[in-house]
Amino acid sequence: MERDRLVRLNWRLGMVAGITLLLGPVLRFLLSYTGAIIYKDPSK
């Protein structure tokens, strides 16, 4: 029972880590992109 819980927790952490690794560069690109737009046009 305890082992099953640990396995499920590890599996969930692994999924989160995988999603973060996949989405990390995309989020960073979006942040830099929107940041560039905001800095270029401060009147908005």
SS3 of residue 31 by DSSP? helix
**What single letter denotes the amino acid at residue 33?**
Y
CA–CA–CA angle 30, 26, 21 (5° rounding):
145
Sequence-separated (6 or more) residues with CB below 8 Å from residue 38: 44
pTM over 0.85: no
pLDDT tens-digit readout, 1-44: 789 999 999 999 999 999 999 999 999 999 999 988 888 766 65
The answer to whether the beta carbons of residues 29 and 22 sit under 8 Å apart is no
Query: In residues, how long is the chain?
Result: 44
